[in-house]
Chain A
Amino acid sequence: MKRLTALFTIMLFAVLFAQSGNSGDGSNALNLEKPAETQCGTSGNFVDFSCNIMKALLKLGPIVAVIALIAGGAIYIYAQMFVTADQRGRYQSLAVNLVVGALLLAALVGGAGLLVSSGMKFLSAG
């Protein structure tokens, strides 16, 4: 399990660094409701760097969510078909956890911009 966690972390950072510093026309146009459509600059300053990290995470999030959903479904089917009744509970709970986690992740990625922009209005006049 520890090796899996380390592998997952390494993969996450690899994707992050591969994605950061990529595309964009330098305009830094910010879309509050759809931050994934933000166009990051390529000048390499801190603003562009953080923008690229955000975009990489926003690309990674849905991919991981879909993978988790599929994995959850596959594990559930596997548990139903190939696992004995006394072991099935563990697999089913893992599958449910994966599906719930994936749904939550998808909701957070999809609503991140809206959540942050709404949060910014908590203490302001509008």
Chain B
Amino acid sequence: MDNLTEQFPGPGGPLAGGDAFQVAFYALVSMLVIVGLAHLASRMLHNRRLGDWAKEEFLQVLVSAALVGGLVALMAPDNGIIIKAFQSLVPANAMTIELPAGVSIPISQCEQFGIAPGSIICYAFDYIGQVQNQILIIIASLFGINMVLDIISKISVDIIVVQITPLSGLSAFVQVFNSMIQTLTFLEIMTVVEKSLLAFANATALSVFLPIGIVLRCFFATRRIGGALIAIAVGAYLIFPLCIALNGVAVQHAKADAYEPITNATAQIAALTPYGSQFNQNGTLNPDTTRSYMDKVTGAASSIVGAVQAIPNAVATFIGTMIVEVVILPVVALMITMIAIKELAGVFGGEVNLSKFEV
């Protein structure tokens, strides 16, 4: 049991981590003594039904104990069967997502959120975190491009009674980029939702659902609800994160293409931003400053249009990939988790009858 408590340190609280397995141990031992007392009572009172109940409960205690040991062997974050199998199947760098050159972000945020490093939840959490970073980088780049494009597209020249806005065509790009930023923001929110779900599973599966489930499973009247809680714990801690992590392995190679046109456009537009040093030094209202800025804009107009034209297609491809990755696949993962919980609840909460070899 000491090993069990070390394997599941968990967050604080009366039912935290290893304490929870202690409760399960206490419940199982208590149930064994109650079984013994019931058996003695059945012999004293010649009550055959009570005797049968005692024998059945004895078997169920052994099954519950085996379940506890099996679940620990299966779900332990450091050396559990599932994490070992996952690590042997997935290469170490398979989850690393390509980011633009010069962008540096912390790879793992697991410890920051109290998730055991190296666990399945940590793999899934880091994967979603990297996807979120990708989306944020694209949003930030599009914001920068859009801001400058909006200003440039509204520059107009008054010639007596005629007002000419030579780059007004760029406003079409501004509108497209606005809607793309909105979609990307929605996707970013979805990644936050998924990270919150994973953090919730990490905080509650082993320290709340699993121990309460094991304790309830020890007793005759609450066996089904106990099995359901154990199934929820297994689904939340194992199956959902495993599906998310495997999604990351499956679709990770389809994303880096969006960076190149955005990087090109950002490089060209960066020189045209009106918030640069020349305006600060010379003053915005200085005619010479404004004229030199106008000259730069008009001179670079054709190359800006060329650079910006490549962005919508690249970002649309990126958004499409992200919708699959951040919306559709997690929904499928949730569906798989729900189905698994439903099936496992029957297995964990059912009576085990060894004489007929049926569960």
Shortest distance in angstroms between B111's beta carbon and chain A's nearest beta carbon?
A: 26
From B68-76, B178-186, B253-261, B320-328, give the one contacting chain A: B68-76
Q: B64 contacts which chain A residues (CB < 8 A)?
A: 119
How far does the alpha carbon of A62 sit from the alpha carbon of B323 in the complex, in Å? 64
With the chains together, A99 CA to B215 CA distance in Å? 31
Residue of A nearest to B34 (CB): A57
C-alpha gap A64/B81 in the complex (Å): 43
Asked if A28 meets B22 with Cβ closer than 8 Å, knowing A50-B30, A112-B32, the reply is: yes
Query: For chain B, what secondary structure do more than half of its interface residues adopt (helix, strand, loop), or is it mixed?
Result: helix
Partner of B2, one of A8, A30, A54, A109: A30
Contact, CB under 8 Å: B39 / A101: yes
CB of A104 closer than 8 Å to a CB of B: yes
**Contacts A116-B32, A122-B65, A122-B70 hold; do A51 and B26 have CB atoms under 8 A apart?**
yes
Contacts of A100 in B (CB 8 A): 43
**B72 — which chain A residues lie within 8 A by C-beta?**
120, 124
Flag whether A105 is at the interface (Cβ < 8 A).
yes
Q: Determine whether the beta carbon of B68 is less than 8 Å from that of A120.
A: yes
Contacts of B70 in A (CB 8 A): 122-124
Partner of A64, one of B37, B45, B58, B66: B37
Interface size class, chain B: 35 or more
Give CA–CA (A35, B28) in the complex, Å.
11
A80 within 8 A of B: no
Do the beta carbons of A116 and B61 come within 8 Å of each other? Answer: yes
B46 to chain A, nearest CB (A): 8
Residues on the A chain within 8 Å of B33, using CB: 54, 57-58, 60-61, 105, 108-109, 112
B35 to chain A, nearest CB (A): 6
CA of A1 to CA of B50 in the docked complex: distance in angstroms? 15
Q: Are B26 and A54 in contact (CB under 8 A)?
A: yes
Q: Is the CB of A51 within 8 A of B37?
A: no
Number of interface residues of A (CB under 8 A): 48
Q: Does B1 contact A (CB under 8 A)?
A: yes
- Residue A85 lies at the interface, judged by CB distance under 8 Å to chain B: no
B15 and A125 contacting across the interface, CB-CB below 8 Å: no
Cβ of A121 < 8 Å from any Cβ of B? yes
Instruction: Give the interface of B toward A (CB within 8 A).
Output: 1-2, 14-15, 19, 22-23, 25-30, 32-37, 39-46, 58, 61-70, 72-73, 81, 215
| CB-defined A-B contacts under 8 Å, sample of 24 | A28-B19, A30-B22, A35-B26, A46-B14, A47-B23, A50-B23, A50-B215, A51-B26, A54-B26, A97-B43, A105-B36, A108-B32, A112-B33, A116-B25, A116-B29, A119-B61, A119-B62, A119-B63, A120-B69, A121-B69, A122-B69, A124-B70, A124-B72, A125-B73
Further 18 A-B residue pairs, CB within 8 A, beyond A30-B2, A50-B26, A115-B62? A28-B22, A30-B25, A46-B14, A50-B23, A61-B33, A94-B44, A98-B43, A104-B39, A104-B40, A105-B33, A108-B33, A108-B58, A119-B28, A119-B64, A119-B68, A122-B62, A122-B70, A123-B69
